[in-house]
Protein backbone atom coordinates (compact mmCIF):
# COMPACT_ATOMS: atom_id res chain seq x y z
CA UNK A 1 0.00 0.00 0.00
CA UNK A 2 1.41 3.46 -0.85
CA UNK A 3 2.43 5.71 2.03
CA UNK A 4 -0.01 8.45 1.02
CA UNK A 5 -2.95 6.02 1.00
CA UNK A 6 -1.84 4.54 4.33
CA UNK A 7 -1.68 7.99 5.89
CA UNK A 8 -5.18 8.85 4.66
CA UNK A 9 -6.73 5.63 5.96
CA UNK A 10 -4.95 5.51 9.32
CA UNK A 11 -4.90 9.23 10.04
CA UNK A 12 -1.35 9.04 11.50
CA UNK A 13 1.40 11.45 10.39
CA UNK A 14 4.23 9.82 8.45
CA UNK A 15 7.61 11.52 8.15
CA UNK A 16 8.85 12.06 4.63
CA UNK A 17 12.17 10.51 3.65
CA UNK A 18 15.29 12.69 3.66
CA UNK A 19 15.95 11.98 -0.05
CA UNK A 20 13.74 13.15 -2.87
CA UNK A 21 12.88 11.07 -5.93
CA UNK A 22 14.50 12.11 -9.22
CA UNK A 23 16.66 14.70 -7.49
CA UNK A 24 20.43 14.96 -7.12
CA UNK A 25 20.25 17.11 -3.95
CA UNK A 26 19.07 16.12 -0.50
CA UNK A 27 16.38 17.91 1.44
CA UNK A 28 17.61 20.44 4.02
CA UNK A 29 18.09 19.00 7.48
CA UNK A 30 15.94 20.18 10.36
CA UNK A 31 18.12 21.46 13.22
CA UNK A 32 15.28 20.90 15.72
CA UNK A 33 15.44 17.10 15.44
CA UNK A 34 18.38 14.66 15.07
CA UNK A 35 19.48 13.51 11.65
CA UNK A 36 18.29 9.97 12.34
CA UNK A 37 14.80 11.22 13.20
CA UNK A 38 14.03 8.59 15.84
CA UNK A 39 14.48 8.44 19.60
CA UNK A 40 16.36 5.16 19.74
CA UNK A 41 16.73 3.45 23.12
CA UNK A 42 15.55 5.41 26.11
CA UNK A 43 18.35 7.37 27.72
CA UNK A 44 18.80 9.13 31.06
CA UNK A 45 17.87 12.76 31.54
CA UNK A 46 21.48 13.87 31.93
CA UNK A 47 22.85 17.33 32.70
CA UNK A 48 24.26 20.12 30.53
CA UNK A 49 27.99 20.04 29.94
CA UNK A 50 30.05 22.04 32.42
CA UNK A 51 33.54 22.96 31.08
CA UNK A 52 35.43 22.30 34.33
CA UNK A 53 38.69 21.62 32.51
CA UNK A 54 39.06 25.21 31.31
CA UNK A 55 37.47 24.89 27.86
CA UNK A 56 36.27 28.00 25.99
CA UNK A 57 34.82 26.15 23.02
CA UNK A 58 31.58 27.56 21.63
CA UNK A 59 31.75 30.88 23.51
CA UNK A 60 32.85 33.15 20.64
CA UNK A 61 31.32 34.23 17.33
CA UNK A 62 32.84 32.23 14.45
CA UNK A 63 30.67 32.40 11.33
CA UNK A 64 28.69 35.61 11.71
CA UNK A 65 29.22 39.16 12.91
CA UNK A 66 26.87 39.13 15.93
CA UNK A 67 25.78 36.42 18.33
CA UNK A 68 23.43 35.57 21.20
CA UNK A 69 25.11 33.92 24.21
CA UNK A 70 23.71 32.21 27.31
CA UNK A 71 24.60 34.31 30.35
CA UNK A 72 23.23 33.05 33.68
CA UNK A 73 23.63 29.25 33.93
CA UNK A 74 23.24 26.03 31.96
CA UNK A 75 19.79 24.63 31.24
CA UNK A 76 17.82 22.41 28.90
CA UNK A 77 16.01 24.31 26.14
CA UNK A 78 13.23 22.58 24.22
CA UNK A 79 12.95 22.52 20.43
CA UNK A 80 9.73 24.57 20.58
CA UNK A 81 11.49 27.35 22.50
CA UNK A 82 14.38 27.38 20.04
CA UNK A 83 11.92 27.53 17.16
CA UNK A 84 10.19 30.52 18.75
CA UNK A 85 13.52 32.33 18.99
CA UNK A 86 14.39 31.58 15.37
CA UNK A 87 10.98 32.73 14.09
CA UNK A 88 11.24 35.94 16.13
CA UNK A 89 14.60 36.82 14.58
CA UNK A 90 13.44 36.09 11.03
CA UNK A 91 10.25 38.09 11.54
CA UNK A 92 12.15 41.12 12.85
CA UNK A 93 14.68 41.01 9.98
CA UNK A 94 12.13 40.37 7.24
CA UNK A 95 13.11 42.12 4.03
CA UNK A 96 16.80 42.47 4.97
CA UNK A 97 19.77 40.59 3.59
CA UNK A 98 21.09 38.34 6.35
CA UNK A 99 22.04 34.79 7.18
CA UNK A 100 21.19 33.10 10.47
CA UNK A 101 23.44 30.39 11.90
CA UNK A 102 22.31 27.93 14.58
CA UNK A 103 25.17 26.75 16.79
CA UNK A 104 23.23 24.08 18.72
CA UNK A 105 20.93 21.19 17.85
CA UNK A 106 17.93 19.74 19.67
CA UNK A 107 19.09 16.13 19.80
CA UNK A 108 18.17 15.14 23.39
CA UNK A 109 14.91 13.14 23.72
CA UNK A 110 12.82 14.03 26.77
CA UNK A 111 10.37 11.48 28.15
CA UNK A 112 7.42 12.09 30.41
CA UNK A 113 5.10 9.84 32.37
CA UNK A 114 2.05 10.47 34.48
CA UNK A 115 1.73 14.11 35.46
CA UNK A 116 5.07 15.19 33.94
CA UNK A 117 3.68 16.25 30.57
CA UNK A 118 5.42 19.47 29.55
CA UNK A 119 4.26 22.34 27.32
CA UNK A 120 0.67 21.21 27.82
CA UNK A 121 -2.70 22.76 27.14
CA UNK A 122 -5.64 21.51 29.22
CA UNK A 123 -8.74 20.62 27.22
CA UNK A 124 -11.61 19.22 29.35
CA UNK A 125 -10.26 16.04 30.99
CA UNK A 126 -7.26 15.56 28.65
CA UNK A 127 -3.80 17.07 28.57
CA UNK A 128 -2.58 17.61 25.02
CA UNK A 129 1.12 18.36 24.55
CA UNK A 130 2.18 19.66 21.15
CA UNK A 131 5.67 18.58 20.16
CA UNK A 132 6.90 20.07 16.90
CA UNK A 133 6.06 20.30 13.21
CA UNK A 134 7.73 17.53 11.24
CA UNK A 135 7.60 17.85 7.45
CA UNK A 136 4.18 19.50 7.40
CA UNK A 137 2.55 17.14 9.92
CA UNK A 138 1.60 18.07 13.48
CA UNK A 139 2.55 15.45 16.07
CA UNK A 140 0.62 15.34 19.35
CA UNK A 141 0.99 13.34 22.57
CA UNK A 142 -2.09 12.83 24.77
CA UNK A 143 -2.20 11.76 28.38
CA UNK A 144 -5.04 11.46 30.85
CA UNK A 145 -5.11 14.13 33.56
CA UNK A 146 -5.54 11.56 36.35
CA UNK A 147 -2.70 9.24 35.30
CA UNK A 148 -0.95 7.66 38.26
CA UNK A 149 2.79 7.95 38.70
CA UNK A 150 5.18 5.08 38.10
CA UNK A 151 4.84 2.35 35.48
CA UNK A 152 8.21 2.97 33.86
CA UNK A 153 10.07 5.86 32.35
CA UNK A 154 7.22 7.04 30.15
CA UNK A 155 6.81 7.87 26.48
CA UNK A 156 8.65 10.33 24.28
CA UNK A 157 7.53 13.93 24.83
CA UNK A 158 9.73 16.39 22.91
CA UNK A 159 13.24 17.11 21.67
CA UNK A 160 15.54 19.41 23.62
CA UNK A 161 19.11 20.71 23.70
CA UNK A 162 21.54 20.91 26.62
CA UNK A 163 22.92 24.45 26.53
CA UNK A 164 26.02 25.08 28.64
CA UNK A 165 26.72 28.42 30.29
CA UNK A 166 28.23 31.08 27.98
CA UNK A 167 27.27 29.05 24.91
CA UNK A 168 26.53 30.81 21.60
CA UNK A 169 23.07 29.87 20.29
CA UNK A 170 22.46 32.11 17.25
CA UNK A 171 24.77 34.03 14.94
CA UNK A 172 23.89 36.71 12.38
CA UNK A 173 25.76 37.79 9.29
CA UNK A 174 24.73 40.25 6.60
CA UNK A 175 24.21 43.88 5.71
CA UNK A 176 22.77 44.77 9.12
CA UNK A 177 23.30 47.61 11.56
CA UNK A 178 24.39 46.65 15.04
CA UNK A 179 21.30 48.21 16.62
CA UNK A 180 19.00 46.16 14.35
CA UNK A 181 20.78 42.90 15.21
CA UNK A 182 20.75 43.80 18.90
CA UNK A 183 16.99 44.42 18.78
CA UNK A 184 16.34 41.11 16.97
CA UNK A 185 18.34 39.17 19.56
CA UNK A 186 16.59 41.00 22.41
CA UNK A 187 13.19 39.91 21.09
CA UNK A 188 14.39 36.33 20.64
CA UNK A 189 15.82 36.23 24.18
CA UNK A 190 12.42 37.20 25.56
CA UNK A 191 10.92 34.11 23.91
CA UNK A 192 13.42 31.67 25.41
CA UNK A 193 14.19 30.75 29.03
CA UNK A 194 17.19 32.26 30.76
CA UNK A 195 19.30 35.41 30.45
CA UNK A 196 21.28 36.16 27.32
CA UNK A 197 23.82 38.74 26.18
CA UNK A 198 24.70 40.29 22.84
CA UNK A 199 28.23 39.59 21.57
CA UNK A 200 30.20 40.60 18.49
CA UNK A 201 32.99 39.08 16.49
CA UNK A 202 36.28 39.58 18.25
CA UNK A 203 34.88 39.60 21.80
CA UNK A 204 37.00 37.62 24.28
CA UNK A 205 36.06 34.01 25.04
CA UNK A 206 34.50 32.97 28.33
CA UNK A 207 35.69 30.26 30.70
CA UNK A 208 32.73 29.33 32.87
CA UNK A 209 31.31 32.77 33.70
CA UNK A 210 34.65 34.65 33.60
CA UNK A 211 35.57 36.57 30.44
CA UNK A 212 39.19 36.22 29.38
CA UNK A 213 39.61 39.99 29.04
CA UNK A 214 42.93 40.94 30.65
CA UNK A 215 43.23 37.54 32.33
CA UNK A 216 44.59 34.35 30.77
CA UNK A 217 43.41 30.80 31.07
CA UNK A 218 46.61 29.82 32.88
CA UNK A 219 45.91 32.37 35.61
CA UNK A 220 42.42 30.95 36.14
CA UNK A 221 43.73 27.39 36.32
CA UNK A 222 46.34 28.43 38.89
CA UNK A 223 45.36 27.72 42.53
CA UNK A 224 43.80 30.69 44.33
CA UNK A 225 45.96 30.29 47.46
CA UNK A 226 49.46 29.04 48.18
CA UNK A 227 49.40 25.31 48.79
CA UNK A 228 51.16 23.96 51.91
CA UNK A 229 54.28 21.79 51.42
CA UNK A 230 53.81 18.04 51.25
CA UNK A 231 53.86 16.02 54.46
CA UNK A 232 57.35 15.04 55.63
CA UNK A 233 59.10 17.95 53.91
CA UNK A 234 59.92 21.10 55.87
CA UNK A 235 59.72 24.48 54.24
CA UNK A 236 63.03 25.94 53.01
CA UNK A 237 62.24 29.29 54.66
CA UNK A 238 61.91 27.70 58.09
CA UNK A 239 65.29 25.92 58.01
CA UNK A 240 67.57 28.95 58.73
CA UNK A 241 65.34 30.05 61.62
CA UNK A 242 65.46 26.57 63.15
CA UNK A 243 69.28 26.46 62.90
CA UNK A 244 69.64 29.91 64.51
CA UNK A 245 67.47 28.96 67.48
CA UNK A 246 69.39 25.72 68.02
CA UNK A 247 72.75 27.51 68.12
pLDDT at site 170: 96
* Cα 92 from Cα 166, distance rounded (Å): 24
Pairing of strands 126-134, 196-200: unpaired
**Phi-psi category of 106—alpha, beta or left, where left has phi over 0 and alpha has psi -120 to 50?**
beta
Q: What is the mean pLDDT of the chain?
A: 75
pLDDT tens for each residue of 32-56: 888 776 667 777 777 777 766 778 8
Q: State the Cα–Cα distance between residues 74 and 48, nearest whole angstrom.
A: 6
pLDDT tens-digit map of 172-196: 999 999 999 999 999 999 999 999 9
pLDDT tens-digit map of 120-134: 443 333 444 444 444
- Answer yes or no: are the C-beta atoms of 146 and 114 closer than 8 Å: no
Query: What's the rounded mean pLDDT across residues 207-226?
Result: 80
Q: What is the pLDDT of residue 133?
A: 41
User: What is d(CA 14, CA 28) in angstroms, rounded to the nearest whole number?
Assistant: 18
Q: What is the DSSP string of the chain?
A: --HHHHHHHH----PPPSB-TT-SSBPPPPTTS-SS-S--S----------TT---TT-S--SSSEEEEE-S--EEEEHHHHHHHHHHHHHHTTTS-EEEEE-----EEEEE-TT---SEEEETTEEEEEEEEETTEEEEEEEETTPPS-SSS-EEEEEEEEEPTT-EEEEEEES--HHHHHHHHHHHHHHSSS-EEEEETTPPPEETTEE-SS--HHHHHS-SSPPPPPTT---TTHHHHHHHHH-
Instruction: Provide the pLDDT confidence category of residue 102 given band limits of 50, 70 and 90.
Output: very high
Contact (CB, 8 A) for 129 and 140:
yes
Amino acid sequence: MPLSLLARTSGLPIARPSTRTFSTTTAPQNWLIPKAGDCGPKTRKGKPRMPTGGSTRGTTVIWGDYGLRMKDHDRRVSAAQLKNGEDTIRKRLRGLKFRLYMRISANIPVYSSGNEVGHATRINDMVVARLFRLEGANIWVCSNRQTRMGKGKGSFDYWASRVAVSKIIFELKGDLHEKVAREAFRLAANKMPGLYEFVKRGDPPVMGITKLDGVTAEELKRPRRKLPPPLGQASTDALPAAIATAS
